[in-house]
Structure 1
């Protein structure tokens, strides 16, 4: 599964007849520790949070975000109590919509979420945000323009 997001990104950006524009970007998930049920969990370096979006203008036809870790064996149980939110802001950086993901109590080494196609009311930016135990751990954004 370590290359799942890279494969998805390659397929999505390879040129679908319905896609007019698209973007994929990744940001490192910084090393952090958190507690679950009295146990300390550690996320090591080597994990990337990737956000993929495609569409045309304000119309988003596909959006996905997830974590891909280079050294999966280094993760003992992965990300627990995680969720991924998608947020949308106008050109003045004011967030006007949030699609909050559900919190997953199970632990996963490769948390991922898709969002429904939609048409945004204004230009600005679309972001994906990773939360673990309610704390934002990574975000990645794309500008939505004409």
Structure 2
């Protein structure tokens, strides 16, 4: 079983196949609802289920072969503590993988002054909100 972000319901299901299971966790009930509808309409994700919860306090009563996420860690108050806790839900030999952004490294080609300015605003806004802009790095 793999735990995954509820916003991308099908690709983890394709990885585990019909003999595996995927649990999607998202703090937003709306995102969970959307993920459930996408999984149902795809016809390929019947082995995927979803729940609403906070990843940093989520306590499943099962273990997983993989814990994966995308653009999640930067929004957690203590991502290291969360990752350490999630490792406790992995089966022996399981993997943990998160894809995060390194916003300061974003660029346009060709280089554009307007892009630099907008990137600066976005980074400043995210930093002022207390989130990590270089979690990927």
Q: TM-score over 0.5 for the alignment? A: no
The structure number with the bigger radius of gyration is 2
Q: TM-score, normalised by structure 1?
A: 0.26
Q: Which has the higher helix share?
A: 2
Q: TM-score, normalised by structure 2?
A: 0.27
Q: Which has the higher strand share?
A: 1
Compare relative contact order (CA 8 Å, sep 6+) and give the higher one, 1 or 2. 1
